[in-house]
Amino acid sequence: MDNKLTIKQLLFSLALCFGVLFLSAQDHRPIGLNNSDLPSLKPHQLPEISFSAVEKNDLANNWQDRVSIPTKVNFNFKNAGTWHNLEAGGRIWRMDVKCENAYGLAFMLRKVEIPAGAYLDIYSKTGRHIIKRITSKDLSIKGDLLAGPVAGREIILEYYEPASAAGQGKLEIFNIHRMYKDYFPKSVSVNPNRDFNDSWDCNVNVRCFDKDNFDDVERSVMRIIMTTEEGMVYCSGTLMNNTAGDMTPYVLTAFHCVSELTPLYDFYRFDFNFISPFCNNPGQAPGFQSLMGCAKLAGYADSDFELLRIFSSIPSEYNAYFAGWNRTQDYRPDTTTLIHHPVGDVKKISQEHSRVIIFNSTIDWDNGLVTSPRSHYRGFLDLGAYQGGSSGSPLFDNDGMLIGQLHGGDALCDDAKAYSGRLSVSWTGGGSSATRLSNWLDPIGSGNLVQSGFDPANSGVSSASVSGKVLTVNGAPMRNTTVYLNSNGNYPQALGSMVDSTLTDANGNYSFTNVPMGSSYFVSANNDGCPRDGIGVSDATKIIAHLLFQNPFSDPYEYIVADTNGDGAVTVTDVLVIRFLLLGVITELPNQSSYVIARSDMIFTEDNPLTTSWRQNALIFEVRNLSGPALVPDFIAYKTGDTTFTSTGCDE
């Protein structure tokens, strides 16, 4: 033990000496800050924030944890910003966005494509705040991106592409968040009197705490930026192990974080390793590693838990840990520990040195919720504190096993009272898979009361699963549909590129197991059965009405399914194909599969996608750099010829 402490003390000293070097090594300089020859930009002005109205609205709706106000926009490379060719080769696109009284801005982007060698820089016009350079690795598996927040009233977006990738990049900015709470480092903040991320001085950085049991579990805790229709919220979460030990990226957090808001789960961002490299607060925000997008699996207000599944597997370079847990019914450890991100700050640690109690009374919460007796632990912190943004943080016992997650209480610097929802209550929750943890954390039905943590770095695991679901256009399971796993993105599937294929089950589910990790894979599906499913005279009538301009199509999928002969256009010939099918003159569709099976997350930018090369994007899903179980967004089966969308699916 003495040798271990000595090594830690030495590392701590080195971190103090070289901390500035460590941080500056992450810096990069955008082209626009180094090139005075670039043309000036006219800023796009966003509405100013009415702080009094926002405060009133937050109080009325219990939105006190909200930190931003979204503004809907529609910007892309064609309708906004300016392009400039560079003497050294390549070109850049630049755009200026300004809000006169915002503390910062964050940007929601979709349909983002960043080819090899290209990147996106976002920074304050003054150059005081430059966020991490964005490449294709930072996009969600759906091509979504939450960029920022960036401190400042005027922000520059700058996309660079090399000549080799000319015209290949795409992006659509559809929402900009105006930050009205100043959670930024003092060195970049609009208000320089604020401290780093504004968390209280009584909060204790994790690196100040020397305890063997928490060296691993600290790596399971992440900051979550929860993006909602009403704005963004900071909370904390924990990567959870399950009894199968299969590295499914389950994240436990607090139910109340967005219970009064409308979550946009595709734009949740999970920031791993946002931590000071030493005990003192850093002079500027340290780097972190992020994943975008998730699905909600379960939640229960009474014990205040929510379980999310991140869409992507956790990259090995994140060095993440899957926390273990203890759900013993009346368990009361002598010491309990919270690890959290108060107001979105770097990772902190808090601790109670007395035996935690199971609270026997109801608790009345600010939002009107009354939780049941014995649904929560209650503790009084002896070390550290907590604030907004700490919600959802894990409550660990002295062995580093999770026993609950922070709900709230009296957030103070001295003797803070903290209530945490109990894992043993959340285990059975409201009695269904959508309201309890047991289905998800014990998928093999082991009945374990205690489950140890899991460290992928020491596991020797080299394969993982890729799974998903195929549904009909009306949400029913699409059974007996072939799903392909390929090593490239060619469509239709290129010979020699297929890794595996499988059929969907009675619920439309499919799964590929023992897929080697470390490579990217491409998923697509096909079903050529039931050629007459969903097709009737009304479909032919609808195509005729479109061709006569009486009732033009307004849905991209109307164009896609109306192209029954596969010639890339909607014509009278497509009507004849439907007629011949109904009369039995032909028994299958010419040059077309019976179903067009497309990604549920596909967003078309034009009404008629037949005029573009849409198949490559719509029919194939890429699983990037598989490093753990991957969940693919649903595929939807659109019946060719079924312009009225009445298909019930096919079992053939």
Q: What is the 3-state secondary structure (H, E, C) of 374-393?
A: CCEEEEECCECCCCCCCCCC
150 in Cβ contact with 35 (< 8 Å): no
Out of 129, 177, 256, 407, which one is annotated catalytic? 256
Distance of CA 11 to the CA centre of its chain: 33
Any catalytic annotation for residue 407? no
Report whether 129 contacts 152 (CB < 8 A). Answer: yes
The three-state (H, E, C) secondary structure of 214-229, written as one string: HHHHHHHEEEEEEEEC
**Is residue 304 flagged as an active site residue?**
yes
Contact status, residue 607 vs residue 556, Cβ threshold 8 Å: yes
Does the annotation count 138 as an active-site position? no
User: Would you list the DSSP string of 111-134?
Assistant: EEE--TT-EEEEEETTSS-BPPPB
Token digits for 650?
């096919």
Helix (H) or strand (E) holding 441: helix 438-441
- CA–CA separation, 315 vs 313, rounded Å? 6
Q: How many CA atoms lie within 13 A of 427 on its CB side?
A: 20
Q: What single DSSP character describes residue 316?
A: G
Q: Give the Cβ contact number of residue 634 at 10 Å.
A: 16
From the list 68, 350, 391, 420, the catalytic residue is: 391
Burial of 316 (0-12, 13-18, 19+ CB in 10 A): middle
Q: What's at 566, amino acid-wise? A: G
Marked catalytic residue, from 302, 304, 345, 533: 304
DSSP string, 196-251: GGG--TT-EEGGG---TTHHHHGGGEEEEEEEETTEEEEEEEEEE--TT-----EE
Beta-carbon contacts of 68 under 8 Å, excluding residues fewer than 6 positions away, are 106, 149, 177, 178, 179, 180, 181, 231, 232
Residue whose C-alpha is closest to residue 566's, from 596, 540, 587 = 596
At 4 the three-state DSSP class reads helix
Q: How long is the chain?
A: 652
How many CB atoms sit inside 10 A of residue 520's CB? 12
- Give the tokens for residue 388: 């907004």
Encoded tokens for 82: 């300016």
Handedness of CA 359, 361, 362, 365 (dihedral sign): negative
In 10 A of CB 206, how many CB atoms?
20
Which residues lie closer than 8 Å to 261 by C-beta, 6 or more apart?
Answer: 63, 66, 226, 228, 229, 230, 231, 233
Instruction: Report phi then psi at 574, rounded to 5.
Output: -65, -35
Taking alpha carbons only, the member of 332, 346, 202 closest to residue 282 is: 346
Read out DSSP for 131-186? PPPB-GGGS-TTS-EEEEEEESSEEEEEEEE-GGGTT--EEEEEEEEEE-S--S-T
The pair of structure tokens assigned to 513 is 């197991």
Residues sharing a CB contact under 8 Å with residue 628, sequence separation 6 or more, in sequence order: 247, 248, 249, 313, 314, 456, 464, 517
Q: Which residues are catalytic?
A: 256, 304, 391
